[in-house]
Amino acid sequence: MITGIIGKKVGMTQVFDPDGTVHPATVIKAGPCVIVQAKNAQADGYEAVQLGLVEETPAKANKPTIGHFKKANVPATRMRREVKLAPGGDAVKTGDQVLVSIFNNGDRVDVVGTGRGKGFQGVVKRHHFGGGAATHGSMFHRAPGSIGASSFPSRVVKGMRGAGRMGGGRVTIRNLKVLRVDADNHLLLVEGGIPGAPSGYVIVRKAIAPHKVKVAQVEKPKKGKK
């Protein structure tokens, strides 16, 4: 059984329950995807499929990838990612479609994407250092404090956190709740935020370690003593 799908972040909105409860939600255009390659334990050592995201603008393919798509008899895709297969379910083959309908309302999913790049940042923003005094002639408002004693060891110790480039890496947000599934428009609404900017590519997969949903128990009224 296929456990994930490729999508693009559309933006954020709000979803209201019938009782008026509001949920911040992210809209993801998930799929449609096609299976470009199917991997099995006998030939590759593990079970997985390579998905390709079918987009409105046709993708250009170079000579090596033209043969790859021609072998699977699928159109060329710009974005391709591998997704693991869960045991059980129907057998998959190249050319099959993967749609957002693999998810249901209330499912828990993990979203993997590329976070926004923040550029070169100091230690206060990058590592949440406290910073120096803001008044009385202080000249160390956002500079790091003691990062190495002068007498011994007379150097900055290894592993000391410092300023540098921040963000722009692979980010995984776990255990997001699926609020709505719009199979007709290939849309998926998940509760909360996901990494990346709008129009960024993401992978939505079934949660590896889903949280158990706590069900409220109604206490029965105690019987009075006779």
Q: What is the pLDDT of residues 116-127, one digit of tens each?
A: 999 999 999 999
Q: Are strands 97-98 and 108-114 parallel, antiparallel or unpaired?
A: unpaired
Query: What is the C-alpha separation between 166 and 119, in angstroms, rounded?
Result: 6
Q: Could you state, in order of their start, the residue ranges of all structural domains in the chain?
A: 117-167
Nearest partner of 53 among 36, 38, 32, judged by Cα: 32
Annotate 60-69 with b (16+ C-beta within 10 A) or e (fewer): ebeeeeeebb
Q: What is the pLDDT of residues 24-68, one digit of tens each?
A: 999 999 979 988 888 888 888 888 888 989 888 888 888 888 888
pLDDT at res. 23: 92
Q: How many CA atoms lie within 13 A of 151 on its CB side?
A: 0
Q: What is the pLDDT of residues 141-195, one digit of tens each?
A: 988 888 888 888 889 889 999 999 999 999 999 999 999 999 899 999 999 999 9
Pull the structure tokens for residue 63: 């000579």
Dihedrals phi, psi of 62, to nearest 5 degrees: -85, 180
